Amino acid sequence: MTTDALCALTFEPLPALAGWYGAHVETIGSTNREMGTLFAERGAALDQHWLTAGEQTEGRGRRDRKWSSPPGNLYASMCLDVSGMRTEALGILPLATGLAIHKALETLLPYSKSIALKWPNDVLIDGAKCCGILLERHVIKDATAAIIIGIGLNVKSHPDDTPYPATHLDAGGPKIALNTAFAALSSAMAETLSGIDRPDFAAMIRDAWRARAKGVGDAITVNLANGQLRGIFHDLDAGGRLVLRLDDNTTRTISAGDIFFA
Ligand code: BTN
């Protein structure tokens, strides 16, 4: 997308979601990257704005990985003004996003599908990853801060070269229109984030997340940036970090990593 086209992008109010706005483009490099650029320009005015794209040519995943982004799936990024937000609320945003997607999928999928959350922020359908979440923090010169929450939801297809099982929403079930998927997602995000100023927001999210999590109490392997740990997925701490119980009964609290179930 050219800089001129990006600058001229107009966001419209989202039907039935007061205070939320959206814009759609057919092709983009990365919705997260462009929302970061737009935030640098428009600042806090971009709060509660969604940008969706029909396809991404440079979709970004966690840990500098690529996110395969062909037409047919949902690519969406939302800007949340977090200036002055309490640290606990900020820290729990990845889990809050996963929880909102879980809620959205409950409204979209048949009852026969099992939906679960995988730490830190994957959503699984029948044990396979259907969606990716990428949160990126931006600060501009007057200290206005935003988190760009990027969500890639496999609707029509999924990549077949992933190191984990992957799936998509339409697999073996009724077709789901992209605008239906986005309406469910944006509504669940608005509902989940509506409590963000409450002092118990982080605790509420953590408890709701844990109740839907796969693998708590089970043996797991955690791939860290600098190695690997095995142990029991003991719990989440108050900030949503993973507490791993090791063989010698000590615990390690982990902020970032990829987990694999035994
Ligand atoms: C992951 O690695 O699991 C996270 C993938 C996040 C992909 C989404 S798609 C919309 C937004 N734009 C991007 O470039 N990435 C995120």
Asked if residues 181 and 169 have their Cβ atoms less than 8 Å apart, the reply is yes
pLDDT at res. 112: 80
Asked if residues 52 and 69 have their Cβ atoms less than 8 Å apart, the reply is no
| 64-68, 71-75, 155-159: least confident range | 64-68
**pLDDT mean over 222-241:** 94
Nearest to 241 by CA among 120, 124, 122: 120
Question: Is the model more confident about 107 or about 112?
Answer: 107
Whether the per-residue pLDDT at 4 is higher than 90: the answer is no
**pLDDT mean over 102-127:** 93
Ligand 1 atom closest to the CA of 122, numbered from 1: 3
State the Cα–Cα distance between residues 146 and 166, nearest whole angstrom.
30
Whether the per-residue pLDDT at 118 is higher than 80: the answer is yes
Strands of the sheet with 251-254, listed across from one edge: 251-254, 242-245, 227-236, 219-224, 258-261
pLDDT in tens, 29-57: 999 999 999 999 999 999 999 999 999 99
pLDDT at res. 27: 96
pLDDT at res. 126: 95
Instruction: Name the token pair of 111.
Output: 């009852």
Rounded distance from Cα 151 to ligand 1 centre (Å): 5
State the Cα–Cα distance between residues 157 and 90, nearest whole angstrom.
32
Rounded distance from Cα 62 to ligand 1 centre (Å): 7
State the Cα–Cα distance between residues 217 and 39, nearest whole angstrom.
41
Ligand 1 pocket at CB < 6 A? 30-32, 56, 59-62, 65, 67, 75-77, 132-134, 150-152
**pLDDT mean over 100-120:** 93
**pLDDT mean over 236-254:** 95
Rounded distance from Cα 245 to ligand 1 centre (Å): 30
Whether the per-residue pLDDT at 89 is higher than 90: the answer is yes
Rounded distance from Cα 133 to ligand 1 centre (Å): 6
State the Cα–Cα distance between residues 54 and 158, nearest whole angstrom.
15
Nearest to 57 by CA among 27, 35, 36: 27
pLDDT at res. 172: 84
Nearest to 129 by CA among 187, 62, 76: 62
Nearest to 35 by CA among 49, 54, 18: 49
